[in-house]
Amino acid sequence: MSHLNRRQALRLFAAAGAAGMAAPLLSACSSSDDSTDSTAVPSGPPIKIGMIVPQTGVFKDFGNELDNGFSLYLQQHEGKLGGRQVTLVKADEGETADSGKAAANKLIKDEKVLAITGVANPAAMLAMREDIENAKIPLIGSNASPKALQTLGPKYIWRTSFVSDEPGTAIARWAAGNVDGGLAICGQTDPAGSDEDVASFVETYKSVGGQIAGQARTVAYGTKDFTAMLNAVKTSGAKGMYALFNGAAAIEFVKQYRNMHFPADFKLLGTGSLTEGYVLKQQGDAARDIYTALNYSPDLDNVANRRFIADYQKAFGSVPSTFAMSSFDAAAVLDKAITDATKNLDSFQLNAAIGRLGQIDSPRGGWQFTQTRTPLQRWYLRQVRNDGAVLSNVLTAELSTRG
């Protein structure tokens, strides 16, 4: 797809939003009415939904955005899902897979929730898999999930975000056609799926003729000084760099990259987490011109996103991230599924109802669950530049549809 300016892209996606997406979907899917309003459904007994998000530690900011997205949906629907009043019980995910697993067990055994949502750390989702499947309580995860989970065939774990290897695959073809020369690969050793993303990027990039400048360079998780890595890239002759960092590491990496004064035509690109959400606020002008691939851009021009942006800014005073959007969609999934389930609602029936859902009308554009219980969705190329007076991840092109 040729490079588009923002106005052209918005016109394109406004038109594309009405089009269906063809791919193998859950065989049990039915054509649900996207206009269903949970407040119009006869109310049933109250329900208890569990939310696993980091309330402490280094991932707390991600947890805040997941919390915000789900809470906004509840605010829009009078605190109800499927016409039933919701009690939202939160458990602190913490920083590790073990603390996330403990949070899931608390919600399952002590709180006896109908369903669970959230989970910021992909490694934590993998750690709690067995407990979720044994309890037969649906988890609608709202952040990236590890590729390894796909091979285990979970029946009760659904994801409204993406699989960790998808961002790299989505941007690899664009990189091969837009970086004129060798590309350096940089990342961090991370139990949360970064290695999967880098591997998928490299495989796809090479398959379409992309050139790698030297070996992939990695630093230990928690590293704060990237000087040696960046110096090695600068002297390698690379014409661009694919970088995978998130959270505090992304903030420091981008600031240090900018201070190294790479050539003006050098391209820095990566997965969306490199410049997404609160990270971009901290990076400021240092992030300017960075390209990223993600399943969401705040300037997507569709009815659902316009309302989402306006309501989110009113409620929280900031522009929503993909984390907030995916959590908002997790609430929408539960809303539609609870509406569709029988009056004698339980976790088993709810899980079956999720499997029958059709298209979700989302701020990212319409999407559906695939056989692997992840979204079939569009992927977008964004560039950090001014959108009006605000530095933002601005939509430049549609990359592909994946799922």
Q: What's the pLDDT tens digit per position in 16-35?
A: 443 334 333 443 333 334 43
Tokens 């039915």 label which residue? 30
382 located within any domain: no
Reply yes or no on whether the pLDDT at 45 is more than 90: no
The angle formed by the CA atoms of residues 378, 276 and 19, to the nearest 5 degrees, is 15
Distance of alpha carbon 244 from alpha carbon 151, whole angstroms: 24
385 located within any domain: no
Percent of the chain with pLDDT over 70: 88
CB 122 within 8 A of CB 81: no
3 located within any domain: no
Dihedral pair phi/psi, residue 110, rounded to 5°: -90, -45
Q: Which residues pair with 376 in a beta bridge?
A: 368
Percent of the chain with pLDDT over 90: 74
Rounded to the nearest 10°, the torsion over CA 137, 335, 380, 173 is 30
Mean pLDDT, to the nearest integer, of 355-378? 96
Looking at the fold, whether 278 and 320 belong to one and the same domain comes out as no
Looking at the fold, whether 343 and 266 belong to one and the same domain comes out as no
* DSSP letters spanning 329-359: HHHHHHHHHHHHS-SS--HHHHHHHHHT---
Q: Which domain holds residue 80?
A: 26-162+300-377
Looking at the fold, whether 222 and 118 belong to one and the same domain comes out as no
Name which of 239, 84, 108, 107 is nearest 175 in CA terms: 239
Looking at the fold, whether 221 and 261 belong to one and the same domain comes out as yes
What is the pLDDT, as a whole number, of residue 21? 40
247 located within any domain: yes
332 located within any domain: yes
Tokens 């690379």 label which residue? 238
Alpha helices in 161-262 (DSSP H): 166-178, 194-207, 227-234, 247-259
* Neighbouring C-beta atoms of residue 227, cutoff 10 Å: 10
User: Could you say which of 294, 321, 353 is where a domain stops?
Assistant: 294
User: Could you say which of 265, 294, 323 is where a domain stops?
Assistant: 294
CATH number for the domain that contains residue 121? 3.40.50.2300
Looking at the fold, whether 150 and 237 belong to one and the same domain comes out as no
Looking at the fold, whether 252 and 308 belong to one and the same domain comes out as no
CB 213 within 8 A of CB 241: no
Looking at the fold, whether 46 and 137 belong to one and the same domain comes out as yes
User: Could you say which of 294, 317, 344 is where a domain stops?
Assistant: 294
Q: Is 161 exposed, middle or buried (0-12, 13-18, 19+ CB in 10 A)?
A: buried
Q: Are strands 139-141 and 84-92 parallel, antiparallel or unpaired?
A: unpaired
CB 158 within 8 A of CB 375: no
157 located within any domain: yes
Range ranked top by mean pLDDT from 54-63, 326-335, 394-403? 326-335
Q: Output the furthest CA–CA distance in the chain (Å, rounded).
A: 66
Mean pLDDT, to the nearest integer, of 152-164? 94
Looking at the fold, whether 176 and 260 belong to one and the same domain comes out as yes
pLDDT digits (tens, 9 = 90+) for 237-290: 999 999 999 889 999 999 999 999 999 999 999 999 999 999 999 999 999 999
Looking at the fold, whether 42 and 152 belong to one and the same domain comes out as yes
Looking at the fold, whether 147 and 188 belong to one and the same domain comes out as no
In terms of phi and psi (left: phi > 0; alpha: psi -120 to 50; beta: otherwise), the region of 221 is beta
Distance of alpha carbon 285 from alpha carbon 259, whole angstroms: 11
Mean pLDDT, to the nearest integer, of 353-362? 96
Q: Is 383 exposed, middle or buried (0-12, 13-18, 19+ CB in 10 A)?
A: buried
- Domains identified in the chain, total number: 2
355 located within any domain: yes
Distance of alpha carbon 279 from alpha carbon 286, whole angstroms: 11
Three-state secondary structure call for residue 364: coil
Looking at the fold, whether 273 and 350 belong to one and the same domain comes out as no
400 located within any domain: no
Looking at the fold, whether 152 and 197 belong to one and the same domain comes out as no
For the chain, give the mean pLDDT. 88
